[in-house]
């Protein structure tokens, strides 16, 4: 079941913690309502400014914790939606209907498909598969294969 | 945008907008078949014009305006041919009076009501169940006839006929385009929920080799269910059904082994359960339980699924709670299959002896006479009680009753391990 993330980028305002106006909230609210009513919204949230966040920076084998704020405002994430859609085309259509997240400014909403477990392919080796099957047989001997709704 | 890209965008728009479009038109023309034809005309217009002009900012409004304009033209032409001036006048009037939808939130509710009418009309009792399912997928979910046919493993002409017949049946019976009231509402809502769950189960039972359209049915059903809860938010069982579907869908990645065979719930790798869907399912269940007391069958089944979802490992499963829920469900539905499931839960919670008593009492149930899981469960319980000979006999009997080759092989293999060693 394809899921897509729609990424909202930061702005000087979001980084400054400037909240949208009542009217802007309402506009975004109407869009969120549309997503809910259409049964496609799975999740969505806004993120606090990067000054309230931190990064773990990896350099080879070393890790360093670095506190925000971070410089590249345009590419920082400020929020996201996760929606269910049949295809990228459909997800893009939904994204097209969002109001400008920067309410008149220049920005983009990035649409990316989430990896699903099936995307990782049949990574089982023969040994693991055999182990799985014998486990299943033993477990069935213990618990039975009859759970109606427990059947999976 | 290239022509192909535009076509794909139009397909996406159709899936998003067709239900509202058909519903809005149906309110005007009072016939879902005609409404669909008008909507299809608008789609054709979009396919003709949008590659040139681009996809409009408000595709839904464009389609509605186009559909109405074309229907006025059609009526005008037909009336001129038939010289039915009075009829023309009346029909034109009613079309022109219907306001062109704008972005007004209040009007959105209006369209919402229409979509509810559409869902309810598609599940009218005059239609056989399979017709309700087909019509719901076509008119409300926006699937093409071909997609529905392939999803249900039926030839396309057969599905096309089913849909044509369904629309004709509704027209001939003068089924009103409305949401019924009172007891009829409850009965119809039950039909809608049933149709949605049938779609879900069709998708859920899809196996690895099937076309991608089949498992996608789960997604369609979930979307329909969520739309429905938005339209009838006070109906507990609607939330219950959504909860059940979210929770079952949460397990889809874990349900099939890489070899393509189904994996039983208790054997599934819980790390592959979709926590986002679990969270949504639990939230929907909470809504259902806060709205309805006593709980209905979908809510109860969802509550059972929730017990599994909450258990981090199978050892953490709250079996007594599950047994209690099956009891409530059995009292509600009187279903011996539910009782059989309750026996399994009882055996997990309290041991095989108690469960065997219940299973023995089910052996005379006519509904379970040829049901292979009854002897399978009995065999398992007997095995756990050390009664191997009887267990083997039951497992062999179960194997003889099942039509599923793989299941038969598994049961026979288990029975074979119980053959006492000679000498």
Which of B303-331 are b and which e, b meaning 16 or more Cβ less than 10 Å from the residue's Cβ? Answer: bbbbbbbebeeeeebbbebbbbbbbbbbe
Is the pLDDT at B120 greater than 50? The verdict is yes
- CA closest to A84 among chain B residues: B219
Is the pLDDT at B51 greater than 50? The verdict is yes
- CA closest to A29 among chain B residues: B105
The 3-state secondary structure of B95-117, one letter per residue: HHHCCCCCCCHHHHHHHHHHHHH
pLDDT score recorded for residue B223: 97
Pairs of residues, one from chain A and one from chain B, whose beta carbons lie less than 8 Å apart: 147
CB contact set of B237 (below 8 Å; sequence gap of 6+): B189, B190, B193, B288, B292, B296, B297, B298, B299
Q: Provide the domain limits for residue A56.
A: 3-118
Rounded to an integer, what distance in angstroms lies between the CA atom of residue B338 and that of residue B327? 8
Is position B150 within any domain? no
Distance (Å) from the C-alpha of residue A70 to the closest C-alpha of chain B? 29
What phi, psi does B347 have (nearest 5°)?
-65, -35
Task: Provide the domain count of chain A.
Answer: 1
Instruction: Give which of A33, A9, A1, A4 is closest to A108, Cα–Cα.
Output: A9
> Considering B71, B103, B135, which residue would you say is the last residue of a domain?
B103
Q: Which of A93, A122, A150 sits opposite B12 (nearest CB)?
A: A93
Distances from the Cα of B56 to the Cαs of A87, A111, B6, B108, in angstroms? 20, 20, 11, 19
Contact B222, B249 (CB under 8 A): yes
The residue to which tokens 């931190």 are assigned: A54
Rounded to an integer, what distance in angstroms lies between the CA atom of residue B406 and that of residue B423? 32
| CB-based contact A1 B308, cutoff 8 Å | no
Alpha helices in chain A (DSSP H): 12-15, 22-37, 88-96, 126-143
What's the whole-number mean pLDDT along residues B28-47? 93
| CB-based contact B8 A86, cutoff 8 Å | no
Rounded to an integer, what distance in angstroms lies between the CA atom of residue B233 and that of residue B72? 36
Is position A95 within any domain? yes
Q: Is the dihedral of CA B170, B172, B178, B179 positive or negative?
A: negative
Judgement on whether residues B40 and B92 belong to the same structural domain of the protein: yes
| CB-based contact B253 A117, cutoff 8 Å | yes
Q: What is the pLDDT of residues B1-12, one digit of tens each?
A: 677 888 889 999
Is the pLDDT at A129 greater than 70? The verdict is no
Is position B16 within any domain? yes
pLDDT score recorded for residue B188: 97
* Secondary element (H or E) of residue B145: helix B145-151
Judgement on whether residues B323 and B418 belong to the same structural domain of the protein: no
Q: What percent of chain A shows pLDDT beyond 70?
A: 76
What's the mean per-residue pLDDT of chain B?
89
| 3-class DSSP assignment, residue A21 | coil
Rounded to an integer, what distance in angstroms lies between the CA atom of residue A62 and that of residue A70? 20
Distance (Å) from the C-alpha of residue B258 to the closest C-alpha of chain A? 5
Is the pLDDT at B160 greater than 70? The verdict is yes
Query: What's the distance, Cα to Cα, between the start and end of chain B in Å?
Result: 79
| 3-class DSSP assignment, residue B124 | coil
Is the pLDDT at B201 greater than 70? The verdict is yes
Is the pLDDT at B318 greater than 50? The verdict is yes
ipTM greater than cut 0.90: no
Q: Provide the domain limits for residue B403.
A: 370-423
Judgement on whether residues B97 and B16 belong to the same structural domain of the protein: yes
Judgement on whether residues B7 and B63 belong to the same structural domain of the protein: yes
Is position B11 within any domain? yes
pLDDT score recorded for residue B255: 87
Looking at A119-128, B3-12, B331-340, which range is the least confident one? A119-128
Determine whether B419 is exposed, middle or buried from the number of CB atoms within 10 Å of its CB (0-12, 13-18, 19+): exposed
Is position B113 within any domain? no
> Considering B369, B385, B408, which residue would you say is the last residue of a domain?
B369
Task: Provide the domain count of chain B.
Answer: 3
Instruction: Give which of B158, B167, B145 is closest to B26, Cα–Cα.
Output: B167
pLDDT score recorded for residue B404: 79
Is position A142 within any domain? no
- CA closest to A96 among chain B residues: B57
Q: How confident is the model at residue B422 (pLDDT cuts 50, 70, 90)?
A: low
Q: What is the pLDDT of residues A86-116, one digit of tens each?
A: 999 999 999 999 999 998 889 999 999 999 8
Q: What is the CATH number of the domain that holds A85?
A: 3.30.70.1060
Is position B265 within any domain? no
| CB-based contact B227 A139, cutoff 8 Å | no
Is position B235 within any domain? no
Is the pLDDT at A128 greater than 70? The verdict is no
Rounded to an integer, what distance in angstroms lies between the CA atom of residue B162 and that of residue B383? 48
Is the pLDDT at B105 greater than 50? The verdict is no
Judgement on whether residues B64 and B20 belong to the same structural domain of the protein: yes
- Of residues A143 and B378, more confidence is placed in B378
Instruction: Give which of B349, B265, B14, B80 is closest to A150, Cα–Cα.
Output: B265
């Amino acid at each position: 079941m394809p899921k897509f993330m729609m990424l909202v980028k930061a702005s000087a305002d979001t980084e400054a913690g400037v909240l949208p106006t009542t009217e802007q909230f309402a506009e975004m609210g109407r869009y969120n309502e549309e997503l809910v009513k259409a049964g496609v919204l799975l999740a969505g949230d806004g993120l606090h400014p990067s000054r309230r966040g931190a990064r773990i920076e990896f350099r080879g084998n070393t890790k360093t914790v670095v506190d925000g704020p971070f410089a590249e405002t345009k590419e920082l994430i400020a929020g996201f939606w996760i929606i269910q859609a049949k295809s990228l085309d459909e997800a893009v259509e939904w994204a097209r209907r969002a109001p400008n997240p920067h309410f008149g400014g220049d920005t983009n909403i990035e649409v990316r498909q989430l990896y699903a477990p099936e995307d990782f392919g049949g990574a089982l080796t023969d040994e693991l598969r055999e182990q799985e099957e014998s486990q299943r047989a033993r477990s069935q001997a213990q618990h039975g294969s009859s759970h109606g709704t427990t059947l999976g | 945008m290239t022509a192909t890209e535009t076509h794909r965008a139009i397909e996406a728009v159709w899936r998003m907008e067709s239900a509202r479009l058909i519903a809005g038109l149906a309110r005007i023309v009072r016939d879902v078949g005609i409404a669909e034809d008008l909507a299809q005309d608008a789609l054709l217009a979009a396919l003709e014009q949008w590659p040139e002009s681009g996809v409009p900012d408000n595709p839904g409004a464009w389609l509605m305006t186009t559909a109405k304009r074309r229907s006025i033209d059609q009526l005008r032409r037909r009336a001129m041919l038939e010289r039915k001036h009075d009829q023309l006048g009346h029909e034109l009037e009613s079309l022109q009076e219907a306001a062109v939808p704008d972005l007004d939130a209040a009007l959105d509710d209006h369209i919402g009501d229409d979509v509810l009418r559409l869902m309810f009309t598609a599940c009218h009792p005059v239609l056989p169940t399979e017709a309700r399912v087909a019509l719901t997928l076509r008119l409300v979910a926006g699937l093409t006839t071909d997609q529905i046919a392939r999803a249900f493993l039926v030839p396309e002409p057969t599905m096309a006929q089913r849909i044509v017949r369904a629309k004709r049946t509704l027209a001939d019976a003068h089924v009103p385009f409305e949401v019924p009231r009172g007891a009829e509402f409850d009965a119809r809502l039950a039909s809608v929920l049933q149709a949605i769950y049938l779609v879900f189960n069709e998708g859920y039972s899809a196996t690895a080799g099937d076309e991608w359209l089949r498992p996608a049915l789960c997604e369609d059903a979930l979307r329909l269910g969520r739309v429905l809860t938005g339209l009838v938010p006070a109906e507990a069982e609607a939330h219950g059904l959504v909860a059940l579907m979210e929770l079952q869908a949460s397990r889809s990645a874990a349900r099939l082994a890489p070899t393509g065979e189904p994996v039983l719930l208790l054997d599934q790798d819980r790390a592959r359960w979709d926590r986002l869907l679990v969270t949504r399912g639990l939230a929907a269940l909470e809504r259902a339980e806060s709205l309805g007391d006593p709980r209905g069958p979908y809510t109860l089944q969802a509550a059972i699924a929730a017990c599994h979802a909450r258990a981090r490992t199978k050892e953490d499963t709250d079996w007594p709670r599950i047994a209690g829920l099956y009891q409530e469900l059995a009292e509600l539905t009187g279903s011996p299959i539910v009782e059989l499931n309750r026996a399994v839960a009882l055996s997990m919670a309290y041991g095989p002896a108690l469960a065997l008593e219940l299973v023995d009492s089910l052996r005379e149930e006519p509904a379970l006479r040829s049901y292979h899981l009854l002897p399978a469960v009995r065999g398992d319980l007997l095995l756990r009680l050390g009664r191997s000979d009887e267990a083997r006999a039951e497992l062999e009997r179960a194997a003889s009753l099942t039509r599923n080759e793989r299941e038969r092989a598994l049961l026979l293999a288990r029975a074979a391990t119980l053959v006492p060693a000679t000498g």
